[in-house]
A = this chain, B = another copy of it.
Amino acid sequence: MGLSLGELATIAGAELRGDPDRVIERVETLQDATAGAISFLANPQYRKFLAETAASAVIVAPGDVAHCHIDCLVSDNPYLAHARVTTALYPDRAVTAGVHPGAVVDSTAQVHPTAEVAANAYVGERAVIGEGVFVGPGCVVLEDCEIGSGSRLVAMATLGPRTRLGQRCLIHPGAVIGGDGFGLANDAGAWVKVPQIGRAWLGDDVEVGSCSSIDRGAIGNTVIDDGVKIDSQVHVAHNVTIGRHTAMAGCAGIAGSTHIGAYCTVAGGVGITGHVELADHVHVSGATAVTRSIKKPGVYTGTVPAMEHASWLKNFARLRHLDDMVRRLRQLEKEMATLRESTNKGT
């Protein structure tokens, strides 16, 4: 296919400098682009590729227009314009209404006539599959799930009992939404399972990456609000709530009953303990452990930076003597004060 630069400018909400009829067929990076491609410049470290690019057009910020020798779309947010252009040029795989003969749909499930249930997928008792939904190959949708219109389960995703997806959710392969939370009562040393009778409740436009787990609630629900984006290999435990438009990167883990605000970012490998609250607009840096509530917006960090092993060996052995160091420091300060005093007296 392909779209004209004029169409793309409208889609991107960008100003066109150049030929509105030029046809663009692909998106490529500045450095690798070929004729027919559109590229973008969002990160200044790639500005060096602008002069030599073979792209047919480029998306740039106003300040970079002067350096463009090719047609450009001018946007205050070139990366956002790039997202819109790419979405237009690479539409999702079309949904082919109907149930594949190799899929199994329980007789009590309701599948909207415009939805697709692909090969080897399973849809359980009383599940309700909305308009235009795509249940990809090998997916399992267990009993009493609800999937809102336009949502897509790419492939091999699992929805546990009673899971609710809003509209336009996107669930990647290997993700498990609504699996059991980890609820255990102790009986003289042995663990007794607490059945998890809540749900995983996802709002609209939520994305969940490959092999991530969103566990369902123990009694109430685990709630992932509209527009939340979750990367691969993330764990969200039972009864967590995550506010609108928060994003969580790979390998993050959130323990049970923690509440994360809206517009937060949780970087890769972060761990957040259970039963705490993070305010809106909190940003947690990579590989940080959050051990208590954070009530103030801002950036929070606990990352321990890697160093050469020899340096680590001698420095980190000191960690278990920090308290002792403080005591010694205090003792020295006291003695110094005494000395100072006696010296002053002496003079």
CB within 8 Å of B: which of A279-324? 284-292, 294, 298-309, 311-323
**Stretch from A3-11, A15-23, A61-69, A193-201 that touches the partner:** A193-201
**Shortest Cβ distance from residue A83 to the other chain B in the assembled complex, whole angstroms:** 4
Indicate if the CB atoms of B84 and A192 lie closer than 8 Å: yes
- The answer to whether A124 has its CB under 8 Å from any CB of chain B is yes
Nearest CB of B to A38, in Å:
11
Flag if B213 contacts A193 (CB, 8 Å).
Answer: no
Q: CB within 8 Å of B: which of A78-101?
A: 79-80, 82-84, 86-87, 90, 93, 100
A132 adjacent to chain B (CB < 8 Å): no
| CA–CA, A237 and B219, complex, Å | 33
Verify if A227 is at the interface (C-beta below 8 Å from B). Answer: yes
A34, CB-defined interface residue at 8 Å: no
Q: Taking A120-B120, A219-B28 as contacts, is the C-beta distance between A316 and B289 under 8 angstroms? A: no
**Shortest beta-carbon distance, A11 to chain B, in Å?**
12
Chain B residues within 8 Å of A166, by CB: none
Closest B residue, CB atoms, query A209: B182
Report how far A82 CA is from B249 CA in the complex, Å. 35
Asked if A102 and B104 make an inter-chain contact with CB atoms under 8 angstroms apart, the answer reads yes
B-binding residues in A (CB < 8 A) = 27-29, 32, 77, 79-80, 82-84, 86-87, 90, 93, 100, 102, 104, 118-122, 124, 136-138, 140, 142-143, 154-156, 158, 160, 170, 172-176, 179-180, 182-187, 189-195, 197, 207, 209-213, 215, 219-220, 227, 229, 231-233, 235, 237, 245, 247, 249-251, 253, 255, 263, 268-269, 271, 273-274, 284-292, 294, 298-309, 311-323, 325-326, 328-329, 332-333, 335-336, 339-340, 342-343
